[in-house]
Amino acid sequence: MFNKEIKIGNKTVGGNNPCMIVAELSGNHNGDYNRAVEIIHAAKEAGADAVKLQTYTADTITIDCDKPWFMTPGDGLWAGRTLHDLYEEAYTPWEWHKGLMEEANKLGMECFSSPFDPTAVDYLENLNVPAYKIASFEINDIPLIRKIAKLGKPLIFATGIAYEEDIQRALDTCKEEGNDNVILLKCVSAYPTPYNLVNLRMMQGLQDKYQCVVGLSDHTPGGTIPVGSVALGAKMIEKHLTLDRSAGGVDDAFSMEPSEFAQMVKEVRIMEEALGSYEYCLTDKQIKERSLSRSLFVVKDIKAGETITEENVRSIRPGNGMHTMYYEEVLGKKAACDLEKGTPLAWEHIEK
């Protein structure tokens, strides 16, 4: 079984370690530093292991232009806006990063970010982030990936819009730079994601094909899909967290509120506990309960020399008598002694 471990700060992802649960701050701070701090504290209280930021400005991720290809497509949450306008509203001011990371670390959580251009990487390196997340829309930015891979720190790739060749090229780039500390997150770039589009089994396919630690970047409502992902091998779960889904921020509508996030964490931990061992084995309690299993018992008084029949010996609970697999063998044999009803049948009770 694939069992690789990757260190992110003071925490270990993969192997037999608990799934790392990451609270995505995104633009849910709604331009308010204090709200960002509140979300970090809510993440801690809800049981998150890490907080993730996004490091860009509108001008580092796109340009201010209203040509058709710079407009948000479709009829989703952000339809009809220029990319520049959307990112200008959603970005996390860079001068906040140091304080937010220190706040998360003070609470015992790791804090890392998604950089969207080389200047963001340089800025984050000065803050000594423990890992980098690559958004699926940047998985084809090979110069950016190469720059990060050279740093030797873990790279976490969202695979939302990636073709298989995009994933392979990104992994090859990391390998060329001697970095195999890669985590692949199954992801669907739909906000929120309909359940029928999740295709959760693909996460196992990613692990089998690319031999990477895998996880889930999830945008579905609720915690059902993240909990299910743990049963399929997820070692990292990322979910957007907000204080109030109705607050009107760019990502609020598909984010989890603190009580929901806490319930998800609780259920993930229950699932991990329930998964247990890959090997077939019984618990100590199950072994003790075997005493209540079936066995052969005398169910009607039998005299010495009397024939054992279906009427006087049966397979019943509990398990104190001989194994039921000998039932056909003992039928028709003679009793070696008087046997009282309720006696567990044993070989010594049978004439040789």
pLDDT at 1: 60
According to the model, what pLDDT value does residue 76 have? Answer: 62
Identify the pLDDT of residue 78: 63
CA distance 320 to 292: 8
CB 203 within 8 A of CB 233: yes
Residue 303: predicted pLDDT: 97
Q: Topology of domain 284-349, per CATH? A: Type Iii Antifreeze Protein Isoform Hplc 12 (3.90.1210)
pLDDT at 50: 98
Q: At a CB cut-off of 8 Å and minimum separation 6, what does 3 contact?
A: 14, 15, 16
Q: Structure tokens of 167?
A: 């994933």
In tens, the pLDDT along 136-174 reads: 999 999 999 999 999 999 999 999 999 999 999 999 999
Strands 5-8 and 11-14: antiparallel
Helix (H, G, I), strand (E, B) or coil at 30: coil
State how far the Cα of 1 lies from the Cα of 332, in Å rounded to an integer: 51
Tokens of 296: 């052969």
Per-residue pLDDT at 296:
98
- Render the burial of 144-176: b for 16+ CB within 10 Å, e for the rest: bbebbbebebbbbbbbbebeeebbebbbebbee
- Parse the chain into domains and list their residue ranges: 13-56+91-275, 284-349
13-56+91-275 maps to CATH 3.40.50.300: no
Q: Which strand (E) or helix (H) includes residue 145?
A: helix 142-149
pTM for the full predicted model: 0.88
CA separation for the pair 201, 208 (Å, rounded): 11
Residues in the chain: 352
8 Å CB contact between 114 and 52: yes
In the numeric block, which tokens belong to residue 48? 């998150």
Those residues of the chain that have pLDDT short of 70 are 1, 74-78
240-286 residue pLDDT tens: 999 999 998 889 999 999 999 999 999 999 999 999 888 888 888 99
Look at residue 112 in the predicted model and tell me its pLDDT: 98
Q: Could you tell me if 8 and 112 are in contact, meaning their C-beta atoms sit under 8 angstroms apart?
A: yes
